[in-house]
Amino acid sequence: MATLDSSRPAAGALFAGLSLRRWKLIGLAATLATACALPFLVSGYQLLLANQVVVYAIALLGLNILTGYNGQFSLGHGAFYAIGAYTTAILLDKTGIPYWATIPLAGGLCLVAGFLFGLPALRLEGHYLALATFALAIATPQLLKYKRFDFLTGGVQGIVITAPDAPFGLPLRGDQWLYFFCLAWTVLLFVIGWNLLRGRTGRALVAIRDHPIAAATMGIDNALYKSVTFGVSAMYTGIAGALGALLAQFVSPDSFDFFLSVRFLVGIVVGGLASMAGAFFGAIFIEFVPNIADQISKAAPQAIYGAVLIAFIFFMPTGVVGMLRILGARLGRFVAPGPGR
């Protein structure tokens, strides 16, 4: 994974007179503008799908911080998504806390839960961590169904929640408001993530991934960084889960099964490991591909996930973002031949 960045074009490469950095900024601005205009352009159902993409992007960024940047495995992030979703649902169901306040609470709870799960996980590497989180993913629906927790979780029936309306008399439909609410959270969390990953902390995470012993020699507290990363990653996924619960207006144990965790894994591999933009590409993939494939047969989405997972690892281990980078590099050389040619 250490060679992920080797395909980046040289800093001076220009396309049509603008630097790559400039192009990236333009792309980001265009994406944001489109995202803001979307609720007024598409139908209610399409907006729901778009909103789900936005929510999944947060979860995928969370998993990517852990797996892509820090090199720790999780096949069980569906569990944290479930904790986030259930926290919001239970708070809305049992207490009078306003919906917007439940999101940070869900995030906080997942931060603690992830940190605690990360502590023993520190001793585990590679396969072992994959195994422990695999078990967590499979056990999650069963724990949520457990009879003694029925009074909170509603058991197999789950919990129905009502979606919020637009506040301050804004002229927005409920789903439009919710979309902007989720989008605001996404932007906030991506800005936080960007600040976290580009500086000293980000370099420490990558160093631990690439060579833990060398990282420790450089004065990085591996244990602290790894468990905190687990917590932060769980927090992102938990917030996504909380927003997802508002979006679905319903939580039930069977929507948080093993395959949810697998979706996240597929998402980060397809989008691109150790890449923030990859979270979006991955989210688009895991939201739309099963929707299309479902029309063929019930088994098709899973089969496609499996085949795509293997194909990406085999042919394109850097994901969509890696593919774009290589394309960009080729294009850069083509449009503006560097001094070397």
Partner 1 sequence: MQAFLHQMLSGFATGGIYASIALALVMIYQTTHHVNFAQGEMATFSTYLAWQMIELGLPYWLAFLLTLLFAFILGAAIERIIVRPFYKAPVLSVVAVFIGLLLIINSLSGALFTYTIKPFASPFPSDAWYGSAYLSAHEVGMIFVTLVVLALVFAFFRYTPLGLAMRAVAENPVSSRLVGVRVGWMLALGWGLAGLIGAVAGTMTAPVVYLDPNMMFGVLLYGFAGALLGGIDNAWGAVLGGFIVGILQNLAGAYVVGTELMVTVALGIIVGILVIKPSGLFGRTIVTRV
What does the alpha-carbon distance between residue 337 and residue 267 come to, in Å, rounded to a whole number?
A: 35
Total chain residues near partner 1 (CB under 8 A): 46
Q: Does 306 bind partner 1 (CB under 8 A)?
A: yes
3-class state of residue 331 by DSSP: helix
What does the alpha-carbon distance between residue 341 and residue 336 come to, in Å, rounded to a whole number?
A: 10
Cβ nearer to partner 1, comparing 136 with 284 = 136
Q: Does 132 bind partner 1 (CB under 8 A)?
A: yes
In the set 123, 334, 340, 341, which binds partner 1 (CB under 8 A)? 123
Instruction: Tell me the closest approach of the beta carbon of residue 19 to partner 1, in angstroms.
Output: 32
The mark string for 318-337 relative to partner 1 (x by CB under 8 A, - otherwise) is --------------------
What does the alpha-carbon distance between residue 191 and residue 172 come to, in Å, rounded to a whole number?
A: 26
**Beta-ladder partners of 160:** 250
Q: Does 1 bind partner 1 (CB under 8 A)?
A: yes
Beta strands 159-160 and 250-251, pairing class: antiparallel
What does the alpha-carbon distance between residue 193 and residue 187 come to, in Å, rounded to a whole number?
A: 10
Q: Enumerate the H helices of 211-318 as residue ranges.
A: 212-217, 222-248, 258-271, 276-293, 300-315
Residue among 140, 7, 167, 11 nearest 86 (CA): 140
In the set 48, 112, 116, 130, which binds partner 1 (CB under 8 A)? 130
Instruction: Tell me the closest approach of the beta carbon of residue 204 to partner 1, in angstroms.
Output: 19
Q: Does 168 bind partner 1 (CB under 8 A)?
A: no
| Binding interface with partner 1 (CB under 8 A) | 1, 67, 71, 73, 75, 120, 123-124, 126-128, 130-132, 134-136, 138-139, 142-143, 145-147, 213, 258, 262, 265, 269, 273, 297-303, 305-310, 313-314, 317
